[in-house]
């Protein structure tokens, strides 16, 4: 890899850090917003999911433009949407504005993640591509952890609005990195006359593998986004202070920082499908065992292992998507795969809100979501593509 390639990968990592910050900031702020505005758990779940709807639309409909207008232009457009609407969220005065701003910022987040994954795959050598894609997407939980550490202090001292202002400023400041240092893909299309079309994903030889990948991502995202959005709120329901609940979510994301590069390393040695399926099934077992550790000093370790497993697994599925499709349709393929996953991400928080409203505690909620985690692991093992080991 040349210096220019390493720089492109680094900038993609930074943009995914901002993605993680912009996605998770709402869950860190949720207890304070719920208290200030007297929002019910069910309505809070709808707020969480409005952002995820935006991410779904962004991944499906905006990300494919990267295969037409270029990765760099798409990253700039996505970053501008993120920065503007994350900042405007600080000005929201009721739940309707909150949902609108979360939806629009979600458009940028969804497009950004698919584009950075594709750009990284095209800048990395074939032998280490899975590792680099996984490492870049690891920026997502790094951003979530750093913003969680900041949020615990800022929200308590200055209110939740200040946290959204700072996140908006940080995203604006990153845009010059993309403008000045990112160049377009080093890999040319397999056939310059070919135009990226979604229908290609559902034709031979991609059809079966595409449906299997979409199913695995749907299930993994449902589990992940339930945990990302509801761990802080469930922790406060269990009696923890707002600051302690934020730290619980931060430990969950800290596990991802270790789990994602570890998954990338193991995938390069043992194969993507075996590694990802093992990790996701392991996560389900950890979730089932959560009740044994409630009230003990080991509960934070369990949060760490959940983050290690579910985020390591779902990021590995990004590497599967990046490897499965040729260059001319790669961002379209990754974007639609992420979009299918985001549908699960929309359902996960809503179902979480219903579980809380029905009176289920944290242990029982984890039992429910252990099922899609295990099924995602089994589905990953069945992916038919011969390009994936």
Closest alpha carbon to 97 in 83, 110, 111, 85: 85
* Distances in whole angstroms, Cα of residue 296 to Cα of each of 158, 304, 366: 32, 14, 17
SS3 of residue 70 by DSSP: coil
What span, in angstroms and rounded, lies between the C-alpha atoms of 386 and 150?
44
Counting Cβ atoms within 10 Å, is residue 115 exposed (0-12), middle (13-18) or buried (19+)?
A: buried
Please enumerate in sequence order all residues whose Cβ is within 8 A of that of 328, keeping only pairs 6 or more positions apart, or say none: 67, 189, 190, 191, 194, 195, 196
What span, in angstroms and rounded, lies between the C-alpha atoms of 155 and 252?
19
pLDDT band, very low/low/confident/very high, at 76 (cuts 50, 70, 90):
very high
pLDDT band, very low/low/confident/very high, at 240 (cuts 50, 70, 90):
low
What span, in angstroms and rounded, lies between the C-alpha atoms of 46 and 187?
41
pLDDT of residue 117: 86
Segment 49-77 mean pLDDT: 87
Question: What are 191's two structure tokens?
Answer: 């056939």
Contact (Cβ atoms closer than 8 angstroms) between residue 59 and residue 339? yes
pLDDT band, very low/low/confident/very high, at 12 (cuts 50, 70, 90):
very high
Contact (Cβ atoms closer than 8 angstroms) between residue 71 and residue 90? no
Query: For the chain, what is the mean pLDDT?
Result: 85
| Phi-psi region at 230: left, alpha or beta (left = phi > 0; alpha = psi -120 to 50) | alpha
pLDDT at residue 193 is higher than 50:
no
Question: What are 193's two structure tokens?
Answer: 């006359």
Of residues 162 and 206, the one with the higher pLDDT is 162
Is the bond preceding 205 in cis, omega lying within 30 degrees of 0? yes
pLDDT at residue 231 is higher than 80:
no
Segment 341-364 mean pLDDT: 82
pLDDT, one tens digit per residue, over 209-228 is 999 999 999 999 899 888 87
Query: CB 205: neighbour CB atoms within 10 A?
Result: 12
pLDDT of residue 374: 94
Residue 236 CB-half CA count within 13 A: 19
What span, in angstroms and rounded, lies between the C-alpha atoms of 111 and 342?
12
What span, in angstroms and rounded, lies between the C-alpha atoms of 28 and 54?
19
Counting Cβ atoms within 10 Å, is residue 22 exposed (0-12), middle (13-18) or buried (19+)?
A: buried
pLDDT band, very low/low/confident/very high, at 192 (cuts 50, 70, 90):
very low
- Weakest-pLDDT range from 114-118, 244-248, 254-258, 304-308: 244-248
pLDDT of residue 377: 93
pLDDT at residue 196 is higher than 70:
no
pLDDT of residue 352: 82
pLDDT, one tens digit per residue, over 364-387 is 888 999 999 999 999 998 888 776
Top-level class of domain 3-184+193-381: mainly alpha
The residues spanned by each domain of the chain are: 3-184+193-381
pLDDT at residue 136 is higher than 60:
yes
Contact (Cβ atoms closer than 8 angstroms) between residue 322 and residue 66? no
pLDDT at residue 252 is higher than 50:
yes
pLDDT, one tens digit per residue, over 275-301 is 999 999 999 999 999 888 777 767 778
* Distances in whole angstroms, Cα of residue 335 to Cα of each of 330, 341, 344: 8, 10, 15
Counting Cβ atoms within 10 Å, is residue 222 exposed (0-12), middle (13-18) or buried (19+)?
A: buried
């Amino acid at each position: 890899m040349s210096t220019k390639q390493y720089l492109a990968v680094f900038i993609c990592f930074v943009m995914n850090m901002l993605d993680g910050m912009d996605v998770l900031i709402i869950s860190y702020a949720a207890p304070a917003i719920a208290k200030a505005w007297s929002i019910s758990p069910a309505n809070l779940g709808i707020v969480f999911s409005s952002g995820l709807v935006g991410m779904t639309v962004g991944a499906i409909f905006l990300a494919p433009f990267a295969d037409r207008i270029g990765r760099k232009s798409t990253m700039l457009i996505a970053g501008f949407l993120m920065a503007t609407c994350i900042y405007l969220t600080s000005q929201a005065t009721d739940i309707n504005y909150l949902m609108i701003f979360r939806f629009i910022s979600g458009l940028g987040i969804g497009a950004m993640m698919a584009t950075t994954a594709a750009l990284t795959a095209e800048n990395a050598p074939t032998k280490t591509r899975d590792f680099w894609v996984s490492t870049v997407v690891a920026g997502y939980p790094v951003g979530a952890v750093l913003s969680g550490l900041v949020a615990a202090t800022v929200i308590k001292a200055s209110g939740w609005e200040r946290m959204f202002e700072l996140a908006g400023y940080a995203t604006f400041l990153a845009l010059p990195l993309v403008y000045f240092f990112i160049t377009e893909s080093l890999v040319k299309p397999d056939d310059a006359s070919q135009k990226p079309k979604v229908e290609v994903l559902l034709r031979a030889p991609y059809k079966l593998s595409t449906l299997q990948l979409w199913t695995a991502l749907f299930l993994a995202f449902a589990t992940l986004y339930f945990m990302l959005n509801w761990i802080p709120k469930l922790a406060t329901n269990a009696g923890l202070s707002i600051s302690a609940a934020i730290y619980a979510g931060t430990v969950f994301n800290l596990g991802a920082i270790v789990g994602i590069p570890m998954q990338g390393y193991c995938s390069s040695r043992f194969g993507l499908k075996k590694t990802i399926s093992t990790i996701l099934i392991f996560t389900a077992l950890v979730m089932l065992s959560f009740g044994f550790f409630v009230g003990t000093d080991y509960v934070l370790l369990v949060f760490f292992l959940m983050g290690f497993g579910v985020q390591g697994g779902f990021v590995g599925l990004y590497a599967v998507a990046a490897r499965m499709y040729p260059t001319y349709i790669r961002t379209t393929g990754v974007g639609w795969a992420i979009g299918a996953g985001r549908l699960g991400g929309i359902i996960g928080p809503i179902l979480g809100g219903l579980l809380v409203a029905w009176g289920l505690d944290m242990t029982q909620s984890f039992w429910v979501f252990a099922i899609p985690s295990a099924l995602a692991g089994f589905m990953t093992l069945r992916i038919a593509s011969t390009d994936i080991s």
